[in-house]
Structure 1
């Protein structure tokens, strides 16, 4: 959820992950001296733990990372998580983010490599009241919109439809939306609608970015130097992660939800159930046009070529400055089923 400015619950995070490490530490004392050491991986989340991180928390809670020889620490994020900067400086080996924004950071010189999909389609949308007269992107001309000023989709809309609008900086709240029937704002549609209806307003409708031709991934990003030195560990991580996502959306999510609530007590069962159901119903993990689960985690070079063309056309990077192979790799994903 990208809805409210929640404090990063460091103490709770340390308690959860500290406890998860204490038992293996005790076990290792009894193990033979030749037992292989676990590879430690820090994963920087983009937000506080919620169902968008379901694959990570399910794999962690089920013990699948540790089974793969990994000691994984999931670090909560927030409004100023600075995921890409933490990856680039080695403070985290892996992080969660958005694919197009990460292209720009790569062009700026940050060492980043996109290695797996979180969601096949990023769920950032415009939220509108049901009776709002705006029904397409062209009708946004002259409107006020609350959104993150750095959202590249805004520049894309201005160019594609030759329109302009006023941006109100995002404040991670839905209170203005609830109070004003003309209000339009950016949101994660697997989260904000729950809080809108909980606040007494009708369920919103959406303008989906992909309907305008802007189809980004929610993505896992790795430090490329670390990936090159630890290819087996990254492959093991992604295999466990994909297993975690499939179990989270097809099986019992209790293990992941329990862990999420320990770190982020503002999670309640109703929200977790709502967000997970939206992820499943909208087929965000498997792909909106998918007929099975074979695309979980997969990223497509052709889509990255399209995304690079978008930022080139917007003059955000020079034409040809980045190749697809500079920004993403499928080398660490499990073999296609």
Structure 2
């Protein structure tokens, strides 16, 4: 079907997606205003009165522990192709925030099956983006990767079905095809909690062609990405949030190795604090980083990227991050996640304290 013929259909789908975003808009706008005030307070204390609506990325102070001109080459491995969920890191890079902290950062694109946690834990990459459930499963296998910063307080992970599907809750996921990575902990969680009776799981390898060409199907996705892509193509869909089902791992967590923390704490601190400022700036001013993301990922459409960025606020400026530092993490949530993963068979109980899987010592 041509885009012209389908224009009425995809316009309705797009408006549906925009309406869902507006429903959550009020709360996160308040949260973003609070973070804006926090940034302003920091700038007032260190730089004098900030210019109204100034991008905080342009006024972020350099790390006091590193020579300003001495840059150390570092790598950041993404867990997927560049998208809005990486926006804060790109914003920090193009605004020179990492350089201010003594870091010459190269961002490396990911894709299906990219073993970021292994690359980082073994020292082949310096930093990476990994979800909290993967951090725990990797550490259970003896790979010493550590979470530093959690932009997503609410996981964007979802299961997507067509609007015409009888599936309205996770209990309805029966006798159908699920396109998802069967090795992912969230799939094991769904199998354990809901049974998935009669569900055939087909490995997800990126893209939505299999979903579009399969009747009675569901597919994994992120709430701020795949549903928007489908809406742009004229598909009306329904999403089931894993977070509302009780599976809510910190997402797109900035990670490094235990060795990096022990040997280069100043660089780790600079990386974390530049990323914090980058994310807060991206939520306010996403356009510069979006341009770079599109340059790195030419397949992502402008509408999808812009709308995806707008949906990040309710997922980031909420929960513990409303009361503490942006990207904060708590042992309580990590412990709950660990218990869920053990219960569903995703990991074995190693007996190691969950507090070793993350640190908040570098957060501003």
Question: For the superposition of Structure 1 and Structure 2, which TM-score range results when normalised by the shorter chain?
Answer: 0.7 to 0.9
What is residue 299 of structure 1 aligned with on the other side? 329
Aligned to 2:271: 237
Selected match of 1:177 from 196, 211, 219 = 211
Structure 1, 318-327 or 166-175: larger mean CA deviation: 318-327
Deviation of 1:175 (Å): 2.6
**1:131 Cα shift?**
2.3
Deviation string, structure 1 residues 3-49 (Cα, Å, up to 9, x no partner): xxxxxxxxxxxxxxxxxxxxxxxxxxxxxxx9752222211011121
Q: By how many angstroms is 1:162 displaced?
A: 4.0
Answer yes or no: is 1:309 the counterpart of 2:350.
Answer: no
In the superposition, relative to structure 1, how do residues 127 and 328 fare at CA in structure 2: closer, same or farther (>3 Å)? same
Structure 1 residue 176, shift from structure 2 partner: 3.6
Q: Is the 8 A contact 2:182 2:188 kept in 1?
A: no
The alignment partner of 1:114 has SS state of strand
Equivalent position of 2:43 in the other structure: none
2:293 equivalent to 1:260: yes
The aligned counterpart of 1:274 is 307
Query: What's the C-alpha RMSD, in Å, of the aligned pairs?
Result: 2.1
SS in structure 2 at match of 1:284: helix
Contact (CA 8 Å) 2:128, 2:255: kept in 1 or not?
yes
Does the CA contact (< 8 Å) of 1:125 and 1:208 recur in 2? yes
TM-score, normalization: structure 1? 0.82
Question: Hey, what does 1:332 align to over in structure 2?
Answer: 362
Distance 1:195 1:162 in 2: 29
Whether the aligned pair in 1 keeps the contact of 2:161 and 2:218 (CA below 8 Å) is yes
Whether 2:315 is the aligned partner of 1:284: answer: yes
The alpha-carbon distance between structure 1 residues 43 and 81, as it changes in their structure 2 partners (threshold 3 A), is: same
Aligned to 1:222, what secondary structure does the other structure show?
Answer: strand
Partner Cα distance (2:139, 2:292) in 1: 32
Instruction: Tell me which residue corresponds to 1:37.
Output: 70
In 1, Cα distance between the equivalents of 2:89 and 2:114?
17
Cα pair 1:46 1:83 within 8 Å, conserved: yes
Match status 1:142 vs 2:175: yes
TM-superposed deviation, 1:300: 1.4
Deviation at 1:181, TM superposition (A): 5.7
Match of 1:101 in 2: 134
Q: Render the CA deviation track for 1:140-182: whole Å, top value 9, x for unaligned.
A: 1333211111121222222223443221111322234334562
SS where residue 155 of structure 2 aligns?
coil
Residues in 2 aligned to 1:78 and 1:254: alpha-carbon distance in whole angstroms: 23
Q: Deviations over 1:300-337 (max 9, x none)?
A: 11100001111222244343523112211112222xxx
Does the CA-based 8 Å contact 1:178-1:200 persist in structure 2? no
CA contact (8 A) 1:93 1:222 kept: yes
CA contact (8 A) 1:95 1:222 kept: yes
User: What's the TM-score once normalised by structure 2's chain length?
Assistant: 0.76
Q: Indicate conservation of the 8 Å contact 2:88/2:279, yes or no.
A: yes
- Please state how far the C-alpha of 1:91 moved relative to its aligned partner: 1.6
- Do the aligned residues in 1 keep the contact of 2:132 with 2:250 (CA within 8 Å)? yes
Alignment check: 8 A CA contact 1:113 1:328 kept: yes
1:125 aligns to what SS in structure 2? Answer: strand
